[in-house]
Amino acid sequence: MVLDAKKIAVGVTGGIAAYKTCEIIRDVKKLGAEVRVSMTESAKNFVTELTFTSLSENPVICSLFDGHETRGISHIDLARWCDLFLVCPATANIIGKVAAGLADDFLSTTIMATESPVVFCPAMNSSMWTNPLVQENVLKLKRQGYRFVEPDWGTLATTAEGEGWGRLASVKRILHNIKYTLLGTSELENKRVLVTAGPTRESMDPVRFISNHSSGKMGFALAEAAKLRSAAVTLIAGPNHLDVPDGVKYQRITSVEDLKDAIYEEYDQTHILIMAAAVSDYRPKTRLSHKLKKSSHEHRLDLERTTDILAELGKKKEGRIHVGFALETENGVAEATKKLHAKNLDMVVLNNPLEPGAAFDADTNIVTIISTDREPENLPKLTKDAVAGVILDRICERVKHNYQKAAAV
Ligand code: CTP
């Protein structure tokens, strides 16, 4: 999992948004991270200690003097233990305290003592957030290297407060920031990556279509992995139920022709194309404008070929990197290698949906990466996030190699 072996300390301060911290802890735990929570006294008014103990599967630390020091979890231990310190929600009080260099409880003392990155997620009433004193404190902390996931505009804690700046950033944005802080690199800075994902649908009449079982999970994971390497990412996807990764430009399509138009719109500015969409090879020759009624006869559906987008783009790819996917149930490596050459690709990611753990809707995948510059690489069963990470690593190696080659000329 992408956050395997990562240690995250979470400091919870007193704000109604503390309930959203529960979701964040659950999500990072699902991604493999280990979590330890520290709460201020006022945080206990919003969510109980027991909730965080259960979610983090570790005792919650509240005070410098509640016995944890003698049980080996001192503020110094926690400060050294964590790879990242998340303060969520962060009140104006904790921001002000740290900015002033004060350390008068377990949380502020640990923040002061840690050398790991500290990420504040402020949440407060909009007049507090826009107060120049708070803004000055935020600036001061940013200048010292503290990170912030800025609050959103939206409905504040009570309906009486209405809308304003100060609402805790979305869980999705906070998770992206956690991942970026722990795993992010600048390897693809200034690179534009275009990822396609999910199935296409080809209509035969207003109510029926031909499609496939692709869930889009692999493509969405690739878009996020590219974003974590600082690329500008566009994701074009067929029908799916997934959450678009934070900071990714998203376009939804239905048919192969829609997909083709959307790709061509972006292609000139694209440096890296990752074609993970399960594109239909055929579509009904005619699309009826009315619903096809049943009859007592057999019905024959005539199909025609769709455009092979990747093969077509392979003819004009110039210096771009093209990555394709191959779904094979027999002679995988040989068939995928044929596609590598036929479609002028740099890399083909081969998978077999009949293997256990590599099914369409699964969260895991078992792939072989076949490239023009190395032996086929068999990866073990990994989560789709982890597979995406390895694919992006190989892409980054190629980007570096191409750059060195160009510099040597
Ligand atoms: N692809 C495409 N346009 C199509 C069909 C496929 O761009 N009309 C892309 C897919 O997104 C994938 C790669 O080509 O990255 C290989 O797709 P796949 O369907 O496995 O292979 P095909 O070349 O269509 O061959 P076959 O179905 O015979 O295996």
pLDDT score recorded for residue 163: 85
Question: Which one of 212, 240, 344, 402 is the catalytic residue?
Answer: 212
**pLDDT 10s digits, 75-88:** 788 999 999 999 99
Smallest CA separation from ligand 1 atom 24, residue: 281
Smallest CA separation from ligand 1 atom 28, residue: 281
**CA distances to 222, 240, 250 from 236, in Å:** 12, 11, 6
Domains 7-182 and 186-284+303-408 share a fold: yes
pLDDT score recorded for residue 158: 67
Please name which of 85, 108, 113 lies closest in space to residue 95, comparing C-alpha atoms.
108
Residue 69 has pLDDT above 80, yes or no: no
Instruction: Give the residues surrounding ligand 1 with Cβ less than 6 Å away.
Output: 256, 275, 277, 279, 281, 306-310, 324-327, 339
Residue 118, both tokens = 């500290």
Residue 66 has pLDDT above 70, yes or no: no
Q: Which atom belonging to ligand 1 lies closest to the Cα atom of 335? A: 29
Question: What ranges do the domains of the chain cover?
Answer: 7-182, 186-284+303-408
Helix 92-99 / helix 132-143 crossing angle, nearest 10 deg: 50
Helix 18-30 / helix 171-183 crossing angle, nearest 10 deg: 50
Query: Average pLDDT of 63-69?
Result: 65
**pLDDT 10s digits, 102-134:** 999 999 999 999 999 999 999 999 999 999 999
Amino acid 140 reads K
Please name which of 350, 344, 337, 330 lies closest in space to residue 391, comparing C-alpha atoms.
350
**pLDDT 10s digits, 27-43:** 999 999 999 999 999 99
- Torsional sign, CA 18, 24, 29, 33: negative
Span from the CA of 283 to the centroid of ligand 1 (angstroms):
14
**Fold of the 7-182 domain:** Rossmann fold (3.40.50)
CA 96, 97, 103: angle at the middle one, nearest 5?
170
Whether residue 402 lies in the annotated active site: no
The pTM score is 0.92
Span from the CA of 353 to the centroid of ligand 1 (angstroms):
15
349 within 8 A of 325, measured Cβ to Cβ: yes
Per-position DSSP letters for 89-137, written without gaps between them: EE-HHHHHHHHTT---SHHHHHHHH--S-EEEEE---HHHHT-HHHHHH
pLDDT score recorded for residue 70: 45
**Most distant CA pair in the chain, distance:** 83
User: Looking at domain 186-284+303-408, which CATH architecture does it have?
Assistant: 3-Layer(aba) Sandwich (3.40)
